[in-house]
Amino acid sequence: MEIKEFYEMIGGDYEDAMTRLLNDDFAKRMLASFHGDKSFEGLVRAVENGDVKEAFAMSHALKGLCGNLGLGRLTEAAVLITEYFRAGDLDSGREYMPVLQKAYDEVTEKLREL
């Protein structure tokens, strides 16, 4: 799969991502680093533990990573859930987790195909 196709499949904007990532080779290297990021796992733990401050910190980190990589639907989901936790709304954030999980799973699945 080509990088441009990857971005199309995840609802991302290839041209916008390239304004930050410059070229396909660098994009592949940066996207490969996504697997090592622990912010999603930290977010899941924080929500399970009912720690809204940590959930905000982890969702904010995830939002930044996804935004920098241009990860389409996952970025959109991360932005929304971050705002729930920023407002201290653990319940709404918890309810939105399945949407975030679906987008996260989509990205990780497509990254395996790169």
The per-residue pLDDT for range 58-68, each reduced to its tens digit, is 999 999 999 99
Confidence of residue 100 (pLDDT cuts 50, 70, 90): very high
The pLDDT of residue 114 is: 87
Three-state DSSP state, 22: coil
Average pLDDT, the chain: 96
CB-based contact 26:52 (threshold 8 Å): no
Average pLDDT over residues 103-111: 97
Distance from C-alpha of 94 to C-alpha of 27, rounded to nearest angstrom: 31
* Cα–Cα distance, 75 to 78 (Å, whole number): 5
For a pLDDT cut of 90, what percent of the chain falls above it?
96
In this model, does residue 30 exceed pLDDT 90? yes
Residue-wise pLDDT for 50-97, tens only, equals 999 999 999 999 999 999 999 999 999 999 999 999 999 999 999 999
The answer to whether 79 and 103 are in contact (CB under 8 A) is no
Is a pLDDT exceeding 90 seen at residue 35? no
pLDDT for 51 equals 98
CB 33 within 8 A of CB 111: no
pTM: 0.93
What domains, with CATH codes, occur in the chain? 3-113 (1.20.120.160)
> How much is the CA Rg of the chain, to the nearest whole Å?
14
H/E element, 64: helix 52-69
The residues, any chain, with a CB within 8 Å of residue 56's CB and separated by 6 or more, are 82, 85, 86
